[in-house]
Structure 1
Amino acid sequence: MVYIPKQYRMNHDEAVQIMKSNSFALLITVNEHRPLATHTPLEIREDEGKIYATGHIAYGNMQKKTLDNNNDVLLIFQGPHAYISSSWYQGEEVPTWDYLAVHAYGTARIIFGDELKSSLDTMLKHYESHREDGRTWDTFDPELLKREMKGIVGFEIEITSIQGAAKMSQNRNETDYKSIVAELEKSHKQEEVQVAQWMREQRKELFK
């Protein structure tokens, strides 16, 4: 389990939203005491009070051997993060790092056939349907899809536990907090600006 001080713990809904909006996750399993990890895009869905993550990895990836009926799977979702300089504080302090992250634990099973096809169709719609001439499932040659599906292994993970961390300078006083936001908003890095946006949203009363 990940260590999260109480003041930085996300609530359940916030954590699920981070999973959905940062769905290129790290899939971690263990094979004979050796950790295995794959970076992979996932589809997150909620169904009758349960949360599922579906995805696929390459057929040649040996992690596939750990994904069937495995109840010790870990998914790590990384949200925006930023270095926080202590030069932005009023008083003498050390620098730190602000971040959003979610660790989701669950039970995995292999999916194939129509279930895998449905999973791939859903993922294509997610990333392609809003594009002009987007390549959804029905726009591909069926023979091409049939060949490509032989090169992957699909999986579904039923999420059983979620731990979300939002370490976003909640411990700073109002002056420091506003200074951090102002400095991050000067950045040309998208993630640093996103951290500032998140911080603004959490303490709107400081920015009226």
Structure 2
Amino acid sequence: MYIPDLYKNEDKESIQKFLKENAFGILINQTNGKLWATHIPLELEINKEGEEVLHGHIAKENPQWTAFQTNDQVLAVFTGPHSYISSSWYDHENVPTWNYSAVHVYGKIKIIKGDAVIDSLTKLVDKYEQNSKCPVRVADFSKKTMLQTRGIVAFEIKIEEIQAQNKMSQNRDAKNYSNIILELEKTENPQSIAVAKEMTKNKK
């Protein structure tokens, strides 16, 4: 993606944190001669070779997976909080804009099978069940329920390139920057408030 130098994020630790906190992404590839996209959780993990990878799965009825073996190049897109920024919040005339965070991950995808599928599903369920009052565990599912795993295609994406952008009004002076935060907080919009929090962390 196009990233002006001012908004480029090259901090590995913050990118890893972002991917773990915003794991519901969009998997994009070319399937049957056209671009195809699926909205799914894509979990950042370290494989047996010590490489950073993304794990996920899609329904076998989704034709996207049929292209994985003939064209293994994929793009995964992740977005964080975002909000409209009104130019009325500046002390000078200017144009409105949008603040947002986004990460694009390019890599090679391969289908995984057998125990690796169950391991991937176990990690996924454990992550999102940890705050449940009565957490479920894959290990506790009946054989009948586990038969449903036949209806999915699990995969691993070997990461080749990461592009990260954090556009949070870095081009504004301290006075206008602070005022943007105040105005975002007034909106009572969860996305806008999340942007305000992100800006506060990086306040000049």
Global fold match (TM > 0.5): yes
Cα distance between partner residues in 1 of 2:5 and 2:143: 51
Cα distance between partner residues in 2 of 1:117 and 1:69: 25
Query: Contact between 1:67 and 1:155, CA under 8 Å: does it hold in 2?
Result: no
Query: Contact between 1:70 and 1:109, CA under 8 Å: does it hold in 2?
Result: no
The runs of 5 or more residues in structure 2 that have no matched partner are none
2:21 corresponding residue in structure 1: 21
Matches within 5 A, 1:39-54: 39-47=39-47, 50-54=51-55
Cα distance between partner residues in 2 of 1:174 and 1:63: 47
Query: Contact between 1:15 and 1:163, CA under 8 Å: does it hold in 2?
Result: no
Query: Contact between 1:107 and 1:159, CA under 8 Å: does it hold in 2?
Result: yes
Task: Give the residue type in structure 2 aligned to 1:90.
Answer: D
Q: Deviations over 1:137-174 (max 9, x none)?
A: 122212211x2101111111011100000111000011
Task: Give the residue type in structure 2 aligned to 1:35.
Answer: L
How many residues in Structure 1 have an aligned counterpart in Structure 2? 202
Instruction: Give 1:70 deviation, angstroms.
Output: 4.0
Cα distance between partner residues in 2 of 1:202 and 1:99: 14
SS in 2 for 1:100: strand
Q: Deviations over 1:122-147 (max 9, x none)?
A: 101001133221111122212211x2
1:61 corresponding residue in structure 2: 62
Instruction: Give 1:32 deviation, angstroms.
Output: 4.5
Instruction: Give 1:102 deviation, angstroms.
Output: 0.2
Matches within 5 A, 1:145-184: 145=146, 147-184=147-184
Task: Give the residue type in structure 2 aligned to 1:63.
Answer: Q
Cα distance between partner residues in 1 of 2:161 and 2:107: 7
- Could you list the runs of 4 or more consecutive aligned residues of structure 1 that deviate by over 6 angstroms after TM superposition? none
Cα distance between partner residues in 2 of 1:126 and 1:32: 34
Cα distance between partner residues in 1 of 2:141 and 2:90: 55
1:3 corresponding residue in structure 2: 2
TM-score for both structures, normalised by structure 1: 0.92
SS in 2 for 1:150: helix
CA RMSD in angstroms, aligned pairs only: 1.5
Task: Give the residue type in structure 1 aligned to 2:182.
Answer: A
Aligned-residue sequence identity (percent) comes to 40
- Choose 93-102 or 131-140, whichever is displaced more: 131-140
Task: Give the residue type in structure 2 aligned to 1:5.
Answer: P
2:198 corresponding residue in structure 1: 198
1:98 corresponding residue in structure 2: 99
The runs of 5 or more residues in structure 1 that have no matched partner are none
Query: Contact between 1:43 and 1:55, CA under 8 Å: does it hold in 2?
Result: yes
Query: Contact between 1:129 and 1:136, CA under 8 Å: does it hold in 2?
Result: no
Instruction: Give 1:60 deviation, angstroms.
Output: 0.5
